[in-house]
Amino acid sequence: MAAQQASGADSDATSQVTARAVKALNSLDGQPVDATDVATPAQVRDAVVSGKSRAGLVIDPAGDSDILYVASGGGSAVVTAVEAIASQFADAQGRSYATEDLVPLTDGDTKGLTGFYLAVGWVVGGYLVASLLAIAEGARATSRRHAVVRLGLLAPYAVALGLGGAIITGPALGAWDGHVASLGLVGSLTVFAVAAATVGMQAVLGTFGIGAAVLLFVVLGNPSAGGPYPASLLPSFWSAIGPFIPTGAATQLVRETVYFGAGGIGWQLWVLAAYVVAGVALAVTVTHTLGSDRGRDEQDEPDLHKAKSAGAHTAAAATPAHREA
């Protein structure tokens, strides 16, 4: 994103300089950025502070020294990448720039990875408890009532783990100040979404549902979550699937909550809600269907025994008795 200092410069000249800068940024090799023109430097700042833009470059049309606004709270790797792009642009245009971090990382989160590891902990806790219930009671619930009870047991566990993670990373370890309640809600939803989805997969696949959960939430979820490298810096496959897996959605929710005032929260909540709905629906519906099939089989089995018994008696009655000579 680019803008200009308007003071001391004609507005037409300012627009021309900005347009050239935007064109130059979008023409860089590999097209690493999607630069757009905004009216004022204040709008650039607002976009970066709110998390709507990863960075902003304010260009001074009267000179050759610009200001690069960044937000390390969105990921330190992004700042490094943006500074490399800004350096490439500045060298090509014969300009210089100074960096200003508008959303810095907290002292307890110097690498910006606390949110990622917190999300991983919530996800692991979610599918782990569902897997333990499957080992203890069987992969599939025995009835619809059993499925509802099993899902009900997950709710207080999710609240405890979600709130516990928020307390540990916040007041206990001092990764950041406050946000306990909001992060507790994020964590509770994440844990329950993963646990419910795992129960749903177990209802469909039986014991193999545990393996499916590990494949989805760990093998695919961790690399695509945007932890060390946010989604915008990942290869296309990982950046495409990451936002639609709870690990990635929760990681982004934590960052948005802690550093950007929850301004960018929206689609992540819908992702987690979709896992809740899908998991609950599969757990209850598939269990009810299988339970009905088992019930019919149990009713048919006594009827079959009765039919065989009646046939035997009929055959015995129809057998003529031996006559004595």
* Ranges of residues in the chain whose predicted pLDDT is under 50: 1-2, 4, 6-8, 292-305, 307-308, 310-319, 321-325
Check residue 62 and give its pLDDT.
78
Check residue 6 and give its pLDDT.
44
Rounded distance between C-alpha atoms, residue 117 and residue 105, angstroms: 16
**In the listed set 101, 128, 152, which residue is the last one of a domain according to the structure?**
101
Same domain for 128 and 78, yes or no, is no
The beta-carbon contacts of 104-109 under 8 Å, at least 24 apart in sequence, are: 104/72, 104/73, 105/72, 105/73, 105/76, 105/259, 106/175, 106/176, 106/177, 106/258, 107/174, 108/173, 108/174, 108/175, 108/176, 109/175, 109/176, 109/258
**In the listed set 101, 126, 151, which residue is the last one of a domain according to the structure?**
101
Same domain for 238 and 188, yes or no, is yes
Count the Cβ atoms, other than its own, within 10 Å of residue 137.
13
* Pick from 93, 75, 99: nearest CA to 22: 93
Which residue range forms the structural domain that includes residue 169? 114-290
* Pick from 98, 29, 11: nearest CA to 58: 98
**In the listed set 36, 69, 101, which residue is the last one of a domain according to the structure?**
101
Rounded distance between C-alpha atoms, residue 261 and residue 170, angstroms: 16
Check residue 300 and give its pLDDT.
42
Pairing of strands 2-4, 65-70: unpaired
Rounded distance between C-alpha atoms, residue 246 and residue 122, angstroms: 10
Same domain for 72 and 191, yes or no, is no
CA angle 228, 76, 25 (to 5 degrees): 110
Same domain for 97 and 148, yes or no, is no
Rounded distance between C-alpha atoms, residue 317 and residue 298, angstroms: 29
Helix 144-167 to helix 114-137 angle (10° resolution) is 150
Q: Please give the C-alpha separations between residue 253 and each of 183, 216, 310, in angstroms, as whole numbers.
A: 9, 19, 67
Q: How many domains does the chain have?
A: 2
Retrieve residue 254's tokens: 């934590």
DSSP line for 46-80? HHHHTTSSSEEEEE-TTSSEEEEEE-GGG-HHHHH
Same domain for 21 and 97, yes or no, is yes
Residue 308 lies in a domain: no
* Pick from 220, 239, 219: nearest CA to 230: 239
Same domain for 59 and 119, yes or no, is no
Same domain for 176 and 266, yes or no, is yes
Check residue 94 and give its pLDDT.
86
Retrieve residue 43's tokens: 């709008």
Check residue 25 and give its pLDDT.
82
Check residue 293 and give its pLDDT.
46
* Residue 59 amino acid letter: I
Check residue 46 and give its pLDDT.
92
Residues 162/294, Cβ–Cβ less than 8 Å:
no
Phi, psi for 68 (deg, rounded to 5): -105, 115
Residue found under tokens 């950025």: 33
pTM assigned to the model: 0.82
Same domain for 145 and 269, yes or no, is yes
Same domain for 91 and 128, yes or no, is no
Phi, psi for 91 (deg, rounded to 5): -65, -40
